[in-house]
Structure 1
Amino acid sequence: MMLKPAESLRNRPLYLNRLIAFQDTEPVKVVTGIRRCGKSSLLKLMARHLRENGVEEQQIIFINFESMEFRNYSAEQIYVYVKERTPSGKRVYLFFDEIQRIPEWQDAINSFRVDLDCDIYVTGSNAYLLSSEYATYLAGRSVEIKMLPLSFSEFLDFHGYTVQERNSPTGEKRKRMVDQDGESYDPQELFEAYVRFGGMPGVADVGLDTDKALALMDGIYSTVVVRDILEREKRRGQRQLTDAELLRKIIMFLADNIGNSTSITSIGNTLMSENLLNKDRRGKPAVQTLQAYIAALLESYVFYEIKRFDVKGKEYLRTLGKYYIVDIGLRNYLLGYRDVDTGHILENIVYFELLRRGYDVAVGKVGNKEVDFIATNATEKIYYQVTESMNEPTTRERELAPLRLIQDNYPKIVLAGNCDNPVTQDGIKIVKVIDFLLES
């Protein structure tokens, strides 16, 4: 099956609406996320929105610091560049893409805030952008828009598919995917494509061709590792993380263990026991070394860490968190595509969908049992179990048991890849993963 390539600039309303909500407000709008997840396009979408709503071209200044034109600019030079192009007596809209490449960039941003009538939007591919050093300059004066690769719904949209509902002969509502030529596809078929290729927007540009997709992922991986991890300490003027081989082994370990309870000690022990360390290395890596490399991966948005929460004790636990990879296509690039980890792959996809929907997410501990996710926001709390199938009685009982132990009245949901009978049981809703991902 060949999906159709996307247009050069596709809408991302989830994120664009968040930017628009803060338009012409004081905070600096900071768009963060892994490289190539669509941050640059989001800034272009915002600039287009401004033009369509009466903002003149001269009021928009857009600088991409990946361009050679600005490679050696200092913060002072950026300040002069913008000042020379600022129209007199009008508000200016400043867009700075990958601004972390400019040393002391925050000095320029702070000066623009003080000296100009401006609305500022920046992107960065490293959480260092919002570190304590940054906070001292703009404490309380910035808002973060956290951007992720495409959701399943966005994936369908980028490839020209629409979701239609129809009533089955039994009266149930069934979904089908229809392409631009009117051809119909089963949702499972397109979900399998999403699981294989992931949600990096660039895949929509090259089409779902395995070789092209792998080449794209290789470029993303190399750029993240080199620019956002191995060079990051140099930019800070601190000791560099220099062991590219150790970094890759840690990445491979975490990618292979998404959804598993993991500690720094267990990573070090595994690297030693499986002979994954260089032979000339003496002993396992120090805990501090592993922590530094994992922190770099978290800062570069390659992996996300999720903490465990004791439901009965109502407190976060310090040990045995879990890691999920930002894009399942990137995991397939690293490990090769395999369908033996379906349960953890579904967990990975659901975790990031919950983040997209604005929830804080934790793993739940209930006695000696575990709830995959506790999703909370200002007004809601929802408990989720995620499983490959709910068709076997033993599996059904295993997934329902932890939720039955929770005594409060918040919603409890099992998300299943396969389920012949998705009904409510003991007050616990059973929902197919695809239906959950396609909820509006």
Structure 2
Amino acid sequence: MIERPGYMDQIRPFIGKNIIKVLVGTRRSGKSTLLQLIRQQLLAEGVAEQSMLHINFESSQYANIADADALTQYVSKQMANVTGKIRIFLDEIQEVDHWEKAVRSFMVDYDADIYLTGSNARMLSSDLATYITGRYVAIDVYPFSFAEFLDAYRQTVGPIDARTAFHKYVNQGGFPFQTDLAFNEAASLRYLDDLFSTILFKDVVRHAGIRDSDALERVVRYVIGEEGHLITAANIAAYMKSEQRKVSPETIANYLNAASKAFLIYRAPREDSIGKRTLKLNEKYYVVDQGLRHAVGLNNANAIDQVLEGIVYMELKRRGYDVHVGKVGDKEIDFIARRGDTVFYYQVTYLLGSQQTVDREFGVFDAVQDNWPKYVLSMDEFPQTHNGIRGMNLIDWLLAKE
């Protein structure tokens, strides 16, 4: 089992506290493993195993626990002989109807230390806010970062240099189950193709009540293929019409929202970097993991600029930044990343192979009159720096400790 210290550092201050710990993220991103790591820590601290109850609602063993009442009765029966604090681990809780009512009752009826995982953002909807206002902390869980991928590869397969590993990461992405496959590319891509279908149909179609699953899949594949490009629902509707499928922009917007709720794709809104206004038209979308993109037949090597941009976007999300696309006149800043009171600007390109590319990537910052750090990330081994704008090797940036 690969430890993920960055996530454990986020969770650790809340272990044992009377606040619900909610781990959210796309399916198979490692949430269940984090629950196991928490259990291991509690056991190491001397907590009795019988005070812990772990239910994975994807297991057929718990198929009969379909609603809040059944869950409440099951927990009451299992923990009847436990005195003192109980620890409840509920994995993929969104499978239980009205689960939030049961969880609220556990907080009232027990001295309970509660951990939840879920693969759909609807579990953090108004229902949860209504029933457990101010009583939970949400922690976003993503597939492996490149730094985690590199560590996991070295632990499970053997030595590898960072550059070689990055080429594998570009194609295979960072879903943790690859450790069980010894990072074999063919096996990993077959697994990811099946995972894409599972996420699409189990976490998008079913939870959003979408009837035309074929249209949904076409829309999602189109958006992933256009990753990093400015698109609108009207653009996608025109594409669907060219495919002899009539889908309204409103329906497409609903599809994109549902796929975002399942953490399959992420929306990066645009903002005017001078006026600081969020712009409603033309947004970008990024797939949660580039391995999924490659697995569904979109050759990552043939779209390396898009793929590198997507990797940087998801890394910024992992690091806790709110990420926008910037507009400066008729130019575009790839990412404006904010966390607290700090701001960072990023341009991403494959190689700075010509003076024209250098002028384009560095020149976009000319109109941004502030002193926040600005970076141009590329695969160049010896990146350039101009006028205080720092060029940095993308792999080095991914491995850098903040």
Q: TM-score, normalised by structure 2?
A: 0.95
Shift of 1:123: 0.5
Q: 2:133 matched to 1:133?
A: no
Query: Secondary structure, in 3 states, of the residue corresponding to 1:347?
Result: helix
Whether the 8 Å CA contact 1:386–1:414 is kept in 2: the answer is: yes
> Which ranges of structure 2 fall in alignment gaps of 5 or more residues?
none
**Cα deviations by residue, 1:129-173 (Å, 9 ceiling, x for unpaired):** 0111221111221111101110001001111269xxxxxxxxxxx
Q: Which residue of 2 aligns with 1:187?
A: 162
Q: Which residue of 1 aligns with 2:34?
A: 42
Distance of 2:244 and 2:377 partners within structure 1: 35
Partner of residue 69 from structure 2, selected from 73, 76, 87: 76
Name segments (4+ residues, structure 1) moved above 4 Å. none
Q: Which residue of 2 aligns with 1:116?
A: 110
Q: After superposition, where does 1:83-98 map in structure 2 within 5 Å?
A: 83-86=76-79, 87-98=81-92
Distance of 2:217 and 2:32 partners within structure 1: 27
Q: 2:243 matched to 1:249?
A: no
Q: 2:234 matched to 1:265?
A: yes
Query: Secondary structure, in 3 states, of the residue corresponding to 2:275?
Result: coil
Q: Which residue of 1 aligns with 2:387?
A: 426
Partner of residue 401 from structure 1, selected from 363, 367, 390: 363
Q: 2:301 matched to 1:325?
A: no
Distance of 1:104 and 1:295 partners within structure 2: 22
Query: Secondary structure, in 3 states, of the residue corresponding to 1:47?
Result: helix
Name whichever structure is richer in helix by fraction: 2
Q: Which residue of 2 aligns with 1:438?
A: 399
Q: After superposition, where does 1:370-381 map in structure 2 within 5 Å?
A: 370-381=332-343
Aligned AA (1:61): L
**Cα deviations by residue, 1:31-51 (Å, 9 ceiling, x for unpaired):** 111111111111111111111
**Cα deviations by residue, 1:75-98 (Å, 9 ceiling, x for unpaired):** 222212222333544111110000
Q: Which residue of 2 aligns with 1:57?
A: 49
Aligned AA (1:157): D
Query: Secondary structure, in 3 states, of the residue corresponding to 2:388?
Result: coil
- CA RMSD of the aligned region, Å? 1.6
Partner of residue 313 from structure 1, selected from 275, 281, 296: 275
Q: After superposition, where does 1:192-271 map in structure 2 within 5 Å?
A: 192-233=167-208, 240-271=209-240
Shift of 1:218: 2.5
Shift of 1:419: 4.6
Q: Which residue of 2 aligns with 1:337?
A: 299
Query: Secondary structure, in 3 states, of the residue corresponding to 1:331?
Result: helix
Aligned AA (2:396): D
Q: Percent identity?
A: 38
Whether the 8 Å CA contact 1:33–1:126 is kept in 2: the answer is: yes
Whether the 8 Å CA contact 1:307–1:321 is kept in 2: the answer is: yes
Q: Return closer, same or farther for 1:221/1:270 CA change in 2, 3 Å cut-off.
A: same
Distance of 1:320 and 1:417 partners within structure 2: 28
Q: Which residue of 2 aligns with 1:291?
A: 253
Distance of 1:65 and 1:430 partners within structure 2: 47
Distance of 2:392 and 2:310 partners within structure 1: 17
Aligned residues: 399
Query: Secondary structure, in 3 states, of the residue corresponding to 2:379?
Result: strand
Q: Which residue of 1 aligns with 2:327?
A: 365
Q: Return closer, same or farther for 1:129/1:349 CA change in 2, 3 Å cut-off.
A: same
Distance of 1:426 and 1:93 partners within structure 2: 55
Whether the 8 Å CA contact 1:152–1:199 is kept in 2: the answer is: yes
Distance of 1:402 and 1:321 partners within structure 2: 19
Shift of 1:120: 0.7
Whether the 8 Å CA contact 1:261–1:320 is kept in 2: the answer is: yes
Aligned AA (1:259): G
Shift of 1:72: 2.2
Whether the 8 Å CA contact 2:374–2:389 is kept in 1: the answer is: yes
Q: Which residue of 2 aligns with 1:171?
A: none
